[in-house]
Amino acid sequence: MFGTIILLWICVVFVILQLKSRRPKNFPPGPPILPILGNILNISLENPLKDFERLRKSYGNVYSLYMGPRPAVVINRLEAMKAAMVNKANDFAGRPQDLFVNETTQRKGVILADYGPGWKEHRRFALMTLRNFGMGKNSMEDRIYGEIEYVVKQLEMSIGKPFSPQLMFHNAASNIICQVLFGRRFEYDDNFIKVIIGCFTENAKIANGPWAMLYDSLPMIRGLPLPFNKAFKNVETCQKLAKGLLAEHKKTRVPGDPRDFVDCYMDELDKRGEDPASFSEEQLRMFALDLHFAGTDTTSNTILTGFLYLSTYPHIQERCQQEIDSVLEGKDRASFDDRHNMPYMQAVIHEVQRVANTVPLSVFHCTTKDTELMGYSLPKGTLVIQNLGSVLNEEGQWKFPNKFNPENFLNDKREFFKPEAFMPFSAGPRMCLGESLARMELFLILVMLLRKFKFSWPEDAGEPNYTPVYGVTLTPKPYNMIVTLRESQ
């Protein structure tokens, strides 16, 4: 009798789970859903990108997956991406608030904040402050050039022997954003930069890795002593470092005379007095770490991708150098405005960004209200995943969608042009805050290093491996290159 009751309860629970796992009416199609697990067996937890493409071919450009009991909609290809992120931008501008990445960052900062008054205040403040501190202006160029000098010294010490550029470019990108945020740079062997870059790199891998996906899909495992806990410790480490840095900053600031982003934020806190709304020192810590991470990991990985391809495509590198020599003849250094006279260099940089696909799934969105997309109904709060690779490699949008070829960005007159499908910074209200800084860094660093040095693939290194390591950001596998001074230098 007891066994019969137990069996009956198991059947009832199974039926309830099956009913809960059914897709809502007019929801995007997708693979069959398993109770509790959803669709996590349909995708690789290590790297789901190929599975996303396989499912797109089966279910269309808008399809759904269940991450455990939670429904998610995956958006693919330009038409669907524009329909959501451009035409209905506000409907898709939310951020899910109960995922692993939100838990690790305590829902502070600006990248993962929910779409509401607090986020809008901080986004507006960041855009205005970054613009005031020279985003896209000569003062920003000076900061970038200050760091390029250190990169050049590192490369000069490595001439003629295999050199691994990973750490150097991560540190350089970190220092450029540190100058904007904190008004200072750090030596490449400084403990602060070593620890914080290490935490950023590790968390970028964990956050889109198998343990984070299990954390999001199976809430019952949260709190267990599993590998995802390392990310919480890393954020705690970064918070302590940032707290110490901000405490030092406070001692030397002059209210009303800001030196950098942090001073501006503290001035804003003073101005608001007893009614700071969403502004606080705790929020500032995560805000600064948000911008530091975003300004370091994406830019450095794009530059690393650039030199991986340039060192293995010598004819493209030589053509860049010819154009650089011609445009910069008689000048000490390039300015960002010189890009308008360098169509081929522009094409190469944009092609590097396209193949790098540095943030392949963007940052997850969610719907802010009940809405429609491509004929399907999406309830408020639906998790939305942008498969940016499906746009950056879309057949019909690119001359050479599956090859590294700058011709993708050159028209018949050999002029630079940007296809509509180029959206590595995403689109809509959540578009990358630091796009203009990233574009300036990429141009000035690549141009000035190519002007001075030649980069070659080591003869004994075997075939280059262009397949990146998967994470929140795609990272080129570690590689060496040979650096030599150009004859003209």
pTM value surpassing 0.85: yes
pLDDT of residue 189: 86
Q: Is the pLDDT of residue 20 over 90?
A: no
CB atoms within 10 A of CB 471: 22
CB atoms within 10 A of CB 82: 18
Q: Give the mean pLDDT of 235-253.
A: 90
The region of weakest confidence among 36-50, 172-186, 196-210, 383-397 is 196-210
Instruction: Indicate if the alpha-carbon torsion angle 250, 288, 440, 443 is positive or negative.
Output: positive
Give percent of the chain with pLDDT exceeding 90.
61
Of the pLDDT bands very low, low, confident and very high (cuts 50, 70, 90), residue 13 is very low
- Contact indicator for 291, 261 with CB cutoff of 8 Å: yes
* Token pair in block for residue 87: 């035409």
Taking the C-alpha atoms of residue 77 and residue 69, their distance in angstroms, rounded to an integer, is 26
Query: For the segment 309-331, what is each residue's pLDDT rounded down to a tens digit?
Result: 999 999 999 999 999 999 999 89
- Which residue intervals of 41-165 are DSSP H helices? 49-59, 77-85, 100-104, 117-132, 138-156
pLDDT of residue 430: 83
Higher pLDDT, 7 or 351: 351
pLDDT of residue 21: 55
Cβ-proximal residues to 140 (8 Å cutoff; 6+ apart), any chain: 133, 134, 180, 437, 440
Taking the C-alpha atoms of residue 86 and residue 19, their distance in angstroms, rounded to an integer, is 34
Kindly list the distances between the CA atom of residue 466 and the CA atoms of 301, 405, 476, in Å, as whole numbers in the listed order: 13, 14, 7
Taking the C-alpha atoms of residue 407 and residue 401, their distance in angstroms, rounded to an integer, is 11
pLDDT of residue 101: 84
Kindly list the distances between the CA atom of residue 231 and the CA atoms of 1, 223, 297, 385, in Å, as whole numbers in the listed order: 49, 13, 16, 22
Instruction: Indicate if the alpha-carbon torsion angle 167, 172, 174, 178 is positive or negative.
Output: positive
The DSSP element (H or E) to which 66 belongs, if any, is strand 62-67
Rounded to 5°, angle at Cα 364 from 361 and 370: 130
Q: What share of the chain is helix, strand, coil (3-state, %, to 5)?
A: 55, 10, 40
Instruction: Indicate if the alpha-carbon torsion angle 229, 197, 180, 309 is positive or negative.
Output: negative
* Token pair in block for residue 457: 């693939």
Q: Which long-range contacts (C-beta less than 8 Å, at least 24 apart) are formed by 361-365?
A: 361/208, 361/385, 361/386, 361/387, 361/388, 362/386, 362/388, 362/426, 363/95, 363/111, 363/112, 363/426, 363/430, 363/472, 364/95, 364/96, 364/99, 365/92, 365/93, 365/94, 365/95, 365/96, 365/430
Strand order across the beta sheet in which 481-485 lies: 162-163, 481-485, 453-456
From 294, 214, 311, 298, select the one nearest 468 (Cα to Cα). Answer: 298
Query: For the segment 436-455, what is each residue's pLDDT rounded down to a tens digit?
Result: 889 999 999 999 999 999 99
How many CA atoms does the CB half-sphere of 11 hold within 13 Å? 6
Cβ-proximal residues to 21 (8 Å cutoff; 6+ apart), any chain: 33, 34, 35, 38, 66, 69
The region of weakest confidence among 41-45, 88-92, 205-209 is 205-209
pLDDT of residue 489: 57
Backbone angles phi, psi at 384, to 5 degrees: -125, 125
**Which domains, from first to last, does the chain contain?**
38-485 (1.10.630.10)
Please give the mean pLDDT across all residues of the chain.
89
Taking the C-alpha atoms of residue 122 and residue 118, their distance in angstroms, rounded to an integer, is 6
Query: For the segment 412-431, what is each residue's pLDDT rounded down to a tens digit?
Result: 999 999 999 999 888 888 88
Query: For the segment 89-107, what is each residue's pLDDT rounded down to a tens digit?
Result: 999 999 988 888 888 877 7
Query: For the segment 259-290, what is each residue's pLDDT rounded down to a tens digit?
Result: 889 999 999 988 888 777 788 888 888 888 88
Instruction: Indicate if the alpha-carbon torsion angle 310, 311, 316, 317 is positive or negative.
Output: positive
**Single-letter amino acid, residue 318:** E
Taking the C-alpha atoms of residue 476 and residue 403, their distance in angstroms, rounded to an integer, is 16
DSSP secondary structure code for residue 47 in this structure: -
- Contact indicator for 39, 33 with CB cutoff of 8 Å: yes
